[in-house]
Amino acid sequence: MEAIVGVHRKAVLPSFHRRTFAMYAKKEVPYINRDAPAFGRKAVLYATCFVNYNNPDIGVIARRVLAKNGVETEVVYPSCCGMPQFEQGQISKVASAASRVAEKLRPWIDRGYTVIALVPSCALMLKFEWPLVMPEDDNVRALSVATCDLSEYIVGIAENEGLAPGLRPLDGGVTLHAACHARAQNMGRKAADMLSLIPNTEVAIIERCSGHGGSWGIMKNNFEVALKVGKSVARQVARSTKGTIASECPLAAKHIAQGVEYLAEGGGTSVVRHPIELMAEAYGLE
């Protein structure tokens, strides 16, 4: 891949799953907790490329946590949000993706479903970037208003109806890397707020760029620089006394883990988990 497409040979890349999240969703429909305070809510999960193809577990676990809280969910994946093309200035391709996805999601919005994007980068595109690219598209405008980040949605349940009981403390606390594209949504520290709902669990926050920068950080000419940019985060993670490391961005998570390994000169590794996995663990839903 280094020779053909310029991806650095040492960059850790996400694996591909033969069974996608959309496939899992058709087979496994979680039981909806009718006793949950938020029972009656409905949401459609925009699967995103990463969750659909690279880590379906994030989507499966998200559905279970939402079902525990009484939320009926459906899964939709019309196509990519266009973030990779957006980073390269290919605006016409972004507009095409926005038009296609917004048209497919509009019927769900009209039926009262909230759209939940499972990756912060994609939530940022649907909420903020697409309306700038296509300001006259009614479907894009409607989707922008109806879209929530995953942690934002769960915190909204907690603030309005209240979460379902049963959360148990996590041993050792959590060190959370606040993803850049989550912070760019101007919604506050929603992942930290969500994890703080777990009783007797201390949450420490790292608000620095991991250095990954989408596809930028894995390229041959950028990889070493990306590790340097993320060195501050990797150092804080390596020194953390908290038991669990988490990041809202799954690509940043891999980059941080690789940065920690480099700091240890190959002698250490770090597992960086998604915050929704920790909510599931606290509920006993792993």
In this predicted structure, which of 84-88, 105-109, 130-134 has the lowest mean pLDDT? 84-88
Q: How far is CA 89 from CA 6, 86, 225, in A?
A: 19, 5, 22
User: Would you put residue 75 in left (φ > 0), alpha (ψ -120 to 50) or beta?
Assistant: beta
Predicted local confidence at residue 269, as pLDDT: 52
* pLDDT of 76: 96
Per-residue pLDDT at 164 exceeds 60: yes
Stretch among 64-78, 147-161, 181-195, 226-240 having the lowest mean pLDDT: 226-240
Predicted confidence at residue 267, as pLDDT, reads 46
Contact 252, 218 (CB under 8 A): no
User: Higher model confidence: residue 214 or residue 120?
Assistant: 120
Structure tokens at 120: 């912060």
Which two three-digit tokens encode residue 251? 């690509």
pLDDT attached to residue 46:
97
Distance CA 114, CA 73 (A): 9
For 180-238, write each residue's pLDDT tens digit: 999 999 999 999 999 999 999 999 999 988 988 878 888 999 999 999 999 999 888 88
Residues 155, 197: Cα–Cα separation, whole Å: 8
Task: Choose which CATH entry (1.10.10, 3.30.230, 3.40.50, 1.10.287) describes domain 2-160.
Answer: 3.40.50
Query: pLDDT digit string (tens) for 30-50?
Result: 999 999 999 999 999 999 999
> What confidence score (pLDDT) does residue 128 get?
96
> Would you say 165 and 238 are in contact if contact means Cβ atoms under 8 Å apart?
no
Tell me what percent of the residues of the chain surpass a pLDDT of 90.
75
Instruction: Please give the average per-residue pLDDT across 96-111, as a whole number.
Output: 97
Phi-psi region of 84 (alpha: psi -120 to 50; beta: other; left: phi over 0): alpha
* Band (286; pLDDT cuts 50, 70, 90): confident
How far, in Å, CA of 46 to CA of 123, rounded? Answer: 9
Classify domain 174-283 by CATH number: 3.40.50
- Say if residues 62 and 101 touch (Cβ distance below 8 Å): no
Residue % of the chain over a pLDDT of 70:
98
User: What residue ranges of the chain are covered by domains with CATH 3.40.50?
Assistant: 2-160, 174-283
- Integer-rounded Cα Rg, in Å, for the chain is 19
What distance in Å separates the CA atoms of residue 265 and residue 44, rounded to the nearest whole number?
A: 43
Note the pLDDT of residue 217: 87
Kindly state the helix (H) or strand (E) to which residue 196 belongs, with its residue range: none
pLDDT in tens, 167-179: 999 988 999 999 9
Rounded CA separation 151/113 (Å): 17
State the pLDDT at residue 67: 98
Q: How many other CB atoms are found less than 10 A from the CB of residue 269?
A: 10
**pLDDT (tens digit per residue) in 230-284:** 999 988 888 887 778 899 998 888 888 888 888 775 544 568 899 999 999 999 9
DSSP state letters, 114-152: EEEESSHHHHHIIIIIHHHH-TT-HHHHHHHHHEEEHHH
Please report the pLDDT score of residue 87 as a whole number: 84
